[in-house]
Amino acid sequence: MQREDFMDTLTIKESDKQADAIFKKIFHKQLKSYMDVIEMSKEGITKASLMEFIHFLNFSPDQFAHLLPITLRTIQRYSSKQKFSPTISEHIIQLVFLVGKGIEVFGSLEKFMGWFNTPSKALGGRVPSDLVSLKTGTQMVMDELGRIEYGVYA
């Protein structure tokens, strides 16, 4: 693979442009490549940014804590400028990508949230929001969004 081809694979995909818009709104950063995501994860997401994302979704902190591999109490202990670990930060960023994909597929945050909080036959009758506290579940939900986008229903 030539260097130019490799760099193209790092460039933010057109399909992730909705997530990029959320990044600008929540994190006040423009994504140039997926390497930015890695750097943001390593640097850590602040509690203030997490709270902006929670507000964007119109969730309570308690509702959102169920989407993360940490407890509400842990979130509450952080000061607004304190940063989460790279693992938790990466998970938050993956949720931004998931929400971006959901908005793209369903056309609005409201329609995506309706699907996100409803049992899905393709996910074994599970509610998508119940699966995303783990990376594997987040990927399963992202894969299902891809199938819906292309009209492939399980």
Q: 16 vs 2, 12, 103, 135, CA distance in Å?
A: 24, 6, 10, 18
Predicted confidence (pLDDT) per residue in 43-59, tens digit: 999 999 999 999 999 99
CB under 8 Å to 22, separation ≥6 — which residues?
53, 56, 96, 99, 100
Specify whether the CB–CB gap between 142 and 102 falls below 8 A: no
| Domain with 111 in it | 3-149
**14: in domain:** yes
Domain assignment present for residue 154? The answer is no
Domain count for the chain: 1
Is residue 71 situated within a structural domain?
yes
Residue 31 in any domain: the answer is yes
Smallest Cα–Cα separation from 30: which of 39, 43, 42, 21?
Answer: 21
Residue 82 belongs to some domain of the structure? yes
At residue 18, the pLDDT reads: 82
The candidate with the shortest Cα–Cα distance to 30, out of 38, 19, 41, is: 19
Let me know if residue 129 belongs to a domain: yes
Structure token pair of residue 84: 């989460």
pLDDT at residue number 7: 45
> Which neighbouring-strand residues pair with 46?
83
Q: Cα(121)–Cα(90) distance, rounded to whole angstroms?
A: 28
| pLDDT by 10-residue block (mean), the chain, 154 residues | 50 71 86 86 96 94 94 96 96 94 94 97 96 95 94 70
Q: State the DSSP H helix or E strand holding residue 112, giving kind and residue range, or none if neither.
A: helix 109-116
pLDDT score, position 6: 44
Separation of CA 154 from chain center: 23
